[in-house]
Homo-oligomer: A and B are copies of this chain.
Amino acid sequence: MAASTTLTVNYTRIQTLTSYFQHCRSKRWINQKTVNRRSPFCQSLKRHAATVVSGTGLAQQIHKEVQSDTAKLVAQGNRRPHLSVILVGDDHATASLLGMSSSTIFRPSSVSQEEMLELIDKFNRDRSISGLLVQLPLPEHFSERAICNAVAPEKDVDGFHIVNIGKLCLDQRCMVPATAAAVWEIIRRTGIETVGKNVLVVGRSKNVGMPIAMLLHSDRNHERPGGDATVVMAHRCTPLPRLKELASLADIVIAAAGVPHLITADILKEGAAVIDVGINRMQDPVTGKLCLVGDVDFEAVKEKAGFISPVPGGVGPMAVAMVMKNTVTAAKNAPTY
C-alpha cells in the first residue's frame, strides 16, 4: 500500500490555521518533541474542535492512485482491470457507486444457490475479469459462506473467502475486507500513530470489527504490516460501565457496533482519534425524513476528540475506494500468460 502520511490536513472540513494548530495539539501523544517546540503558541489557543477526516477526500486520493495504476498496467500491455458485480434482488443502489471499469449482473431474488455457484464459477474462469464481488446480504435461501468461498480467492475483492480470512489473520498478503481496509487507510493517511497505542474496537462482526482488530494489533514488520497497537475487542456482551472504562484509556476508538450514539463525548479521552463505522438509518425528529447516523455522537465528540471521521462521508466512500484498489491489486497479481 503506497500510503502517504503527509496529507493529513489536505482532506479536512475545517481547514483554517486554528484547526491546524489544533491538529498539532491533538497529536501531542504522537510526537512530543515536535509539539513541545510549538507548545507556548499552542497552549495560548482555546480548545478547538477535532480535525474532521474526510473519507470522501481520501477516497478521491485513492481513486487517482487506482487510475494511475490502471493506466500503467494497460500501458505495459496487460488487460484493463475489470470488476464484475453480482446483485441479487431489487435493491440496486450500490452498483452506480463503483465507478471503475465494471459490469453488473442482476439476478432476481428467486435465483437458486446452484445457479449462483455456476455463475461464479464461470466468472472465476473468465480471464477478462480481475475482481468479482457478490453484493451481500443475500436472500435467506442462500448460504452466504458457500457463496463467499466459491469466489476464487485471487478475484475476491471483498476479502471474504475463507483463505483470505486465514491469510489476514496470519499477517500474510491478501485481499483485506474493504471496510477494514478503509479504516486502516484512514488511520495511515491521516498520520494517526498506532504503535504501542491503545485501540478500542467496538463490534466484532466478521467483515468489520474482527478484521480491524487483526490489522491493528499485528506486527508492523510482517508480510502484511500491522499496527502494533494494544487492541481491545468489545461488543454487545461488554457491560456499559466496562466499555466506558476501556474507552477512557483508548487513544483510538473504532465504533462498529451498529448502535446510534453509542460513543459519547463523556467516555472518551481528550484528543482521541474516533473512526465511526456505524451506518444506522434513523428518522429525523424535526423533518421526519430518514437519515444516516453513525455510532458516534458526532457533534459532542467533535469538541473533545483529536480526529473524527463523519457519517456519512467518512468510512463509506473509503470502503468503495478500497474495493477498486483491491480490483487493481487483483489485476496486478493475475497471470499474464
Contacts and interface: CB of A to CB of B under 8 A. Distances in A.
B232 A204 contact: no
Interface string A305-328: 000000000000000000000000
A260 B166 CA distance: 31
Contact of A204 (B218, B237, B246): B218
A237 B166 contact: no
A238 B196 contact: yes
Given A162-B166, A167-B162, A218-B204, A213 B233 contact: yes
Interface stretch (A33-41, A99-107, A223-231): A223-231
B229 A232 contact: no
A234 B230 contact: yes
Contact of A206 (B170, B195, B232, B238): B170
Query: What secondary structure prevails in chain A residues at the interface with B?
Result: mixed
Contact of A169 (B210, B231, B242): B210
Contact of A166 (B166, B171, B218, B245): B166
A25 interface: no
A320 B265 CA distance: 49
Contacts of A145: 170, 172
A237 B232 contact: no
A237 B195 contact: yes
Q: How many copies of this chain does one complex carry?
A: 2
A246 to B, nearest CB: 7
A152 interface: no
A108 interface: no
B230 A233 contact: yes
A80 interface: no
Contacts of A246: 230, 249
A238 B194 CA distance: 11
A239 interface: yes
A166 B174 CA distance: 13
A284 to B, nearest CB: 33
A51 to B, nearest CB: 25
A216 to B, nearest CB: 9
Contacts of A168: 169
A19 interface: no
Contacts of A217: 204, 233, 235
Given A162-B166, A163-B166, A167-B162, A229 B218 contact: no
12 contacts: A163-B166, A165-B166, A165-B170, A169-B169, A171-B206, A195-B237, A196-B238, A196-B242, A217-B233, A229-B237, A230-B232, A242-B249
Given A168-B169, A196-B242, 8 more contacts: A162-B170, A165-B166, A166-B169, A169-B214, A171-B206, A204-B217, A228-B235, A231-B233
Q: Give the 9 A-B CB pairs with smallest separation, nearest first.
A: A166-B166, A162-B166, A228-B237, A165-B166, A230-B238, A217-B233, A231-B233, A196-B237, A169-B169
